[in-house]
């Protein structure tokens, strides 16, 4: 018998919030500081879900090392200083969160973004209702695709894994959710590269808009 979904958990960047404009602005500010040409937003956006490491590699093509770490540190400084200038919840998310509560479903966030960035961003976004849990990349020892942050979020939300649905826009999101024993959905409206094949990630479904999440839950009650 299929368990009723009692908690919906979201990835942050590219699923709950459209953070790409501010991350792209930080990367281009760093490129300008370093005397390099800025990059088109359309080039940067698909890499956002893969974090600062991917963005530095995209912008500078440098391998991990002392120069890489210097650039990464400065990038994070620039981003933290303007973390919610252009970032918004995706269209449809505010009404979805209200609908979830009306259906007695709570919600939370599981992201690989470190807490020093996650916490101020969520505070400035002010989602209503507020999440019952926020699990950042450094909340527990392991990050996605490891299932540990997912299980931590389940416990904080008061639900069993089989009562949780995780929505994300990266393959590691689906891997983490599946390993934790959750249902999973791919957010096709997120930051997915053209060469990626989300239909092969093994998710329980693919959605094109936030409102599709509640429709999926209702169909699988």
Number of Cβ within a 10 Å radius of residue 171: 20
Q: Could you give the angle at the alpha carbon of 93 between the alpha carbons of 91 and 94, nearest 5°?
A: 100
What string of H, E and C letters represents the secondary structure of 187-202? Answer: ECCCCCCCCCCHHHCC
User: Among residues 198, 4, 193, 167, which one has the least CA distance to residue 93?
Assistant: 167
Q: Which residues contact 72 (CB under 8 A, 6 or more apart)?
A: 52, 53, 56
Hey, which residues are catalytic here? 11
Q: What angle do CA 77, 82, 85 make, to 5 degrees?
A: 160
Q: And the tokens for 115?
A: 């807490």
The Cα–Cα gap between 177 and 182 comes to 5
First to last CA, the chain: 10
- Residues 111 and 38 sit within 8 Å (Cβ to Cβ): no
């Amino acid at each position: 018998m299929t368990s009723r979904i009692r908690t919906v958990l979201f990835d942050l960047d590219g699923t709950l919030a459209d953070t790409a404009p501010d991350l792209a602005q930080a990367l281009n500010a760093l490129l300008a500081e370093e005397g390099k040409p800025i990059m088109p937003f359309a080039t940067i956006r698909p890499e956002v879900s893969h974090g600062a490491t991917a963005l530095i590699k995209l912008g500078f093509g440098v391998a991990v090392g002392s120069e890489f770490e210097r650039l990464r540190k400065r990038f994070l400084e620039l981003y933290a200083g303007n973390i919610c200038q252009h970032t918004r919840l995706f269209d449809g998310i505010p009404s979805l969160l209200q609908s979830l509560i009306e259906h007695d479903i709570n919600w939370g966030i599981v992201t690989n973004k470190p807490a020093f960035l996650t916490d101020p961003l969520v505070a400035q976004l002010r989602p209503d209702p507020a999440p019952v849990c926020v699990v950042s990349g450094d909340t527990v020892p392991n990050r996605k695709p490891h299932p540990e942050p997912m299980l931590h979020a389940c416990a904080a939300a008061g639900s069993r894994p089989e009562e949780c649905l995780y929505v994300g826009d990266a393959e590691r999101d689906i891997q983490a959710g599946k390993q934790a024993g959750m249902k999973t959905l791919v957010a096709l409206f997120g930051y997915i590269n053209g060469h990626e094949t989300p239909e092969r990630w093994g998710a329980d479904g693919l959605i094109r808009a936030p409102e599709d999440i509640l429709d999926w839950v209702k169909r699988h009650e």
